[in-house]
Structure 1
């Protein structure tokens, strides 16, 4: 078992609290879908609306909080929705980032995060410094060796246009962090994808491959959870979700039984 009992309890309480709040405040949005309601039934449409709401909650807050709980026992610091980031970037670093992106889009270079970080490091404190909007990081981790990890958690598969913007963000985080002293001993900025929607097939990474260094910039499902929590963390987490689901099933069924046809 990778997770401590205290972590299991924290995660279970978090999930139960989120589900119960959703149930208490749930208002099914079926009024504007008269054909769907008549075809499928009000109870099914109410449940569908609830599932959509849960999907949003998992993607926007729950996975980040769960990750911080898990990582707390393996890292010096583990913070979700991290707001302690710098808000300045050098114009020289911005030029470097644009050149990196141009080269990747034109296929003049293959993605190499270590090389890209080194290029940005050389320009991070060169030239005029500009104030930018302070980034808010989904998950920040500081390892005991001084390495800093900055993750953007994504549940939906990004399209091509979004991928370019995400890559720019990952590079800008490096530039913003290195504009400030003291610098970390090492830095990682990348995407964390909590689950693989294609399982048991491998995650379809081809859309990311032209812009992202897949080995050094993207962690998917088990790879991510086991990285922050140790071996078998992913399986432990699935077990916790299942147990909470079984515990709350009678409460969920009771709420949606009200929408069933009499």
Structure 2
């Protein structure tokens, strides 16, 4: 990552943080305000900032790195055909159920799911396809990052670094919906969908720390999820990309960038 790109990313981070804090106020009252007014405000503000970074920083930076690395950024949404093909809907419901419930204690691989959905999509009558109207997917089920390179479409959604057990169920259904929606329109599409965890908050391996949740989750760990450099290095095409991104956060800390927001955190 050259100096120009680092400075560009660092400036993007500053803009993202400033935009979040612009006219930001904690309006809702909590009883702990009467005991820990500053601390409660800080927790609320930082929690909101962490959430906002997904769309205002991590997502655009990943697209910038991918574009420099020769990926095409697909901006169009993956649309949902309506009426949705019944055979494909039945197969989608089936693979979601099988992944969540693991019949015979067998984890269903992502490849098996894709093959099943593709086969179901191929059975749709071409005359019916011609009558479809394509609409936006339901809120919360869209693709954050849609890349294309060497004939393969890559679909990503950036998620919190510490998902709970229920989140893994949602991730599974969301990705299987992506496959079904895309294959409904193009049964020949080559697709790889993953959940991206932007950084590892633990001192140990993220997978090790999450192993209990992952074991009982429906996800195919070898295929469905990338953590930290697995994702960032794929986007950039270079190694240890996250360490370079982290260094920019450290620089802003050393430059006392946080002082800009003292009046927001520590109101009288």
TM-score scaled by length of structure 1:
0.83
1:204-243 matches, within 5 Å, as 204-209=210-215, 210-229=217-236, 230-243=238-251
Deviations 1:164-201 (A, max 9, x none): 332122112112212224833x2101211112233334
Pair 172,21 (structure 1): closer, same or farther in 2 beyond 3 Å: closer
Match of 1:246 in 2: 254
Pair 205,64 (structure 1): closer, same or farther in 2 beyond 3 Å: farther
Pair 21,99 (structure 1): closer, same or farther in 2 beyond 3 Å: closer
Contiguous gaps of at least 5 residues in structure 2: none
1:3-82 matches, within 5 Å, as 3-29=1-27, 32-33=29-30, 35-40=31-36, 42-78=37-73, 82=75
| TM-superposed deviation, 1:139 | 0.7
Match of 1:192 among 193, 196, 204: 196
Give the secondary structure class of the aligned counterpart of 1:137.
coil
Deviations 1:61-113 (A, max 9, x none): 3211121112111132135xx43323225322221222222323332231311
Asked if the contact 1:90–1:126 (Cα under 8 Å) also holds between the matched residues in 2, the reply is no
Distance in 2, Cα, partners of 1:18 & 1:179: 36
Match of 1:98 in 2: 93
Distance in 2, Cα, partners of 1:256 & 1:176: 44
* CA RMSD of superposed structures (Å): 2.6
- Between 1:13-22 and 1:242-251, the stretch displaced more is 242-251
Distance in 2, Cα, partners of 1:249 & 1:111: 47
Asked if the contact 1:15–1:244 (Cα under 8 Å) also holds between the matched residues in 2, the reply is no
**When the two structures are aligned, how many residues end up with a matched partner?**
250
Contiguous gaps of at least 5 residues in structure 1: none
TM-score scaled by length of structure 2:
0.81
